[in-house]
Structure 1
Amino acid sequence: MSASVSMPLGGVQVGSYDSYEQAQAAVDYLSDEKFAVENVTIIGSDLRMIEKVTGRMTMGRAIAAGAAGGAWWGLFVGLLLGIFSDTGGAWAGAVLLGLAIGLAFGAAFGGMGYAATRGKRDFISTSKIVAGRYDVMCNPPQAEDARALLARFSLRG
């Protein structure tokens, strides 16, 4: 029976940073120094989701958002159908009809979607996943070179 030592995903750690931007800058520095960055991996750990509440959702907002999205789709469909028009008037008619139908259906579906929630989620938010730490990992044969370069990078300040 043979013994094996498991290596962490991405290789061995050559640097650790508090933000993704710092880790990205470190890898960019490695690239600028002609290091073979295809041997490098950035791994985020201690993940958490942050949801920022940006406002209150109302029936009016739901209808307006649905109408806006529907208008874009209607405009797109109207432009596609307008391609097959013989005259400028028919083209404009197709675009305007597509826009109007898309706006109406979007508003209706936006309102119905909001009504279906029955007040369970009356707010608007954005969410993102962030890591507590970002480790720059490297394949073992190149790890010492990467560490030396990143030591110079950290001295740059």
Structure 2
Amino acid sequence: MASGNLVAIAPWHSVYPPPRDVELKSITRDAVLQMMKDSESVAAKDFLLIDLRRTDYEGGSIRGSINLPAQSLYPTIPTLYSLFKASGLHKIIWYCSSSRGRGSRAAGWFRDYIDKRGDNEMESLVLFEGIKGWATAGSEFVNWMNEYDAAFWEK
């Protein structure tokens, strides 16, 4: 390759179809925090937070969330849906750093699958402003994080 010639690399998600649902529902961090507080007093919760970060899974995560890197998500959606349904979950909340890329894409893909199944009980939501919005919103939110690293969020 001659010097100066750059090869364009397609983004990881280009091998999958774009989400059909472009009118995604989002949920605020205040609403999620309230759901987390409420779920402490009940035996089972009906929501799940999913952190889609992979190599940037730094600075901490929201307590109780699971890490499913976005790059491996699409092929696993049918299995995840079955697991979530069997667990009685009603709200699946996706987030990445800002929830404008991976978060919204994952929420859209999962919403498409829910629609395909004709499921009117489960919701696919994107966390407004993602983990960055959560981690920089003050101590009330930071207290609900695991492995919080203040220096990471000051960048």
TM-score class, shorter-chain normalisation, is under 0.3
Report the structure number with the largest CA radius of gyration: 1
TM-score, scaled to structure 2: 0.24
Query: Which of structures 1 and 2 has the larger relative contact order (alpha carbons within 8 angstroms, sep 6+)?
Result: 1
Structure in which a larger fraction of residues adopt strand = 1
Structure in which a larger fraction of residues adopt helix = 1
